[in-house]
Amino acid sequence: MHPLDQAHLSTLPSSVVRPGYDRSKVKAGIAHIGVGGFHRAHLAIYLDRALARPGQERWGLCGINLLPQDAPMAAAMKRQDGLYTVSEMAPDGTHTSRVVEAMVEYLYAQDNPRAVLDRLSQPDIRIVSLTITEGGYLIDERGQFNLKHPSVVYDLEHPGEPRSAFGYIVEALDRRRKAGIKPFTVMSCDNLRHNGVQARRACVAFAKAKDPELAAWIEREVGFPNAMVDRITPATDNATRQKLRDLTGVDDAAPVICEDFIQWVLEDDFRNGRPEWDAVGVMITPDVSPYEEAKIRLLNATHTMLSYPAYLAGFRKVDDVLHDELFTQYLRDFLNLDAGYWLKSLPGLEIDAYKAKLLQRFGNRAVGDQVARLCMDGGSKISGFLLPTLHEILKHGRPYHRIAFFLASYERYLKGKDERGEAYPIVEPNARQLLERVIQSSSPSTLLELTEVVGTQLPAHPGFVALYLQLRQKIDTQGVVATLKEIVAAGDKLPADAAS
């Protein structure tokens, strides 16, 4: 087994691809907050490609983690000098394993928050990028930043030792402003509609609470490009970690497994320079909105539609779900009759081909994505991924039974046991306190009362409420699969008993 660190980089097996640049010449120009699997399989891959081009040495990566649960990643990145392997798995079973060398610095805020602030305040950091999950932006159902969140309250009182991403970003921008240093660009890489707009909203709201002049300066001087990001990247459990060590022959404490598909569409709103990403496969565009809308309504929404019904039915791997005829038809109907019904093709994104490719990607046996991963943080995902499609359905009088079935399944999932009686943890890092009402309630109606999750339209729609309650009862009496058979049989019409 080959060790992985800077001293042993040149001794790695020849089967592990290297990016082909002199790492000793690379300096960090991008700081990334939230070093997890997706970031390391996506932005860092594109950055590795860019660094192999002449004159790009100033665009290396400084990885940053903030949270206590990031301690294992911090230990691995420090021990391995920021190096790790990515194994890209094709549907036909072939793979490419590569070592990523772009992360030339790494900081763990739990060890030294002041060191993180100092690094973000230095002029050579020109971009600060983010993968902090959808709920990490603390934007409520009214589109307002939650200034009462405990982390925000703490950071406003302790600006020199913040805990949240926006506490670090805004304090570092303030220091740069006061020192006359040009601000960095804030670049969101999260699966969030208008993610740059949301990052701007969070930063400006935080800054206004701190200093209105700082907020005005951020609005005027800082770029917040929107982006659409796409690559299926499962969590790496112990079994996968060992599988990847055997596959690569590398003793990597933090390997990444992902599909071979990768996509990034990015707005060119960089006030302080950027890497030559457009030369290495990134689509640079003046308006990302239609691309992110298509991706979120199709890929992210379909992942969400799959998650809770499949988990309750006993599925644990996404590819197994896609090899089940009933669930595949349910997802195909959602893509064709619900989410994709409103979307038109774009340059570089043909909708029908994209939908077909999605189902192929989800069914990739070599990736082995986890249904449990898709079940995480539903309280934050549903409003962004599904409600826009549901609002179109209700507005135009289209059938809504698939989404009603999904929400009934979600409410059942929040009870904490699947249909075999197997208990599981409910992982809702951003909405757990809100969802506790549903978890403790004996009434399925409680979920529909949470407008932060389901919006304001559903409780006021008698037909939807009636069908949701009917399906929730059927799930208890008949089971998820039998209920889903009725949903699939209805096709493009509401079930007969719901339509009456």
55: its two tokens: 């004159």
What phi, psi does 57 have (nearest 5°)? -65, -20
DSSP for 219-284 reads HHH-----EEEE-------HHHHHHHHHHH-EE-SS-EEEES--EEEEE---TT----GGGTT-EE
Environment class of 220 (CB within 10 Å of its CB; exposed 0-12, middle 13-18, buried 19+): exposed
Q: Where are the domains of the chain?
A: 2-285, 289-499
List the one residue out of 461, 432, 459, 429 whose CA is nearest residue 445.
459
Instruction: Give tens-digit pLDDT for 7-25.
Output: 999 999 999 999 999 999 9
Q: Please, which residues have CB within 8 angstroms of residue 392's CB and are 6 or more apart in sequence?
A: 341, 342, 398
Which of the residues in the chain have pLDDT under 70?
Answer: 141, 496-500
**Residue in this structure with the two tokens 């790695």, named with its chain if needed:** 12
Q: Alpha helices, DSSP H only, in 7-131?
A: 37-41, 43-51, 71-79, 113-120
Evaluate whether the domain defined by 2-285 bears CATH number 3.40.50.720.
Answer: yes
Q: Please, which residues have CB within 8 angstroms of residue 458's CB and are 6 or more apart in sequence?
A: 390, 448, 464, 465, 468
Q: What is the pLDDT of residue 496?
A: 66
∠ Cα 213 214 219 (to 5°): 100
CATH class of 289-499: mainly alpha
List the one residue out of 214, 4, 28 whose CA is nearest residue 107.
28
Describe the crossing of helices 113-120 and 165-179 by its angle, rounded to 10 degrees. Answer: 50
Give the C-alpha separation, 87 to 260, whole Å: 9
Give the C-alpha separation, 185 to 225, whole Å: 8
Residue 367 and residue 319 in contact, taking contact as beta carbons nearer than 8 Å: yes
400: its two tokens: 């809504």
Q: What is the pLDDT of residue 100?
A: 98
What phi, psi does 299 have (nearest 5°)? -65, -60
List the one residue out of 131, 138, 158 whose CA is nearest residue 30.
131
Give the C-alpha separation, 61 to 32, whole Å: 7
Residue 74 and residue 110 in contact, taking contact as beta carbons nearer than 8 Å: yes
Instruction: Give tens-digit pLDDT for 347-395.
Output: 888 999 999 999 999 999 999 899 999 999 999 999 989 999 999 999 9
Residue 252 and residue 100 in contact, taking contact as beta carbons nearer than 8 Å: no
Describe the crossing of helices 378-385 and 432-440 by its angle, rounded to 10 degrees. Answer: 100
**Residue in this structure with the two tokens 């010449």, named with its chain if needed:** 25
Q: Please, which residues have CB within 8 angstroms of residue 460's CB and are 6 or more apart in sequence?
A: none
**Residue in this structure with the two tokens 């939650």, named with its chain if needed:** 146
Q: What is the pLDDT of residue 499?
A: 45
The whole model's pTM is what?
Answer: 0.87
Give the C-alpha separation, 262 to 264, whole Å: 7
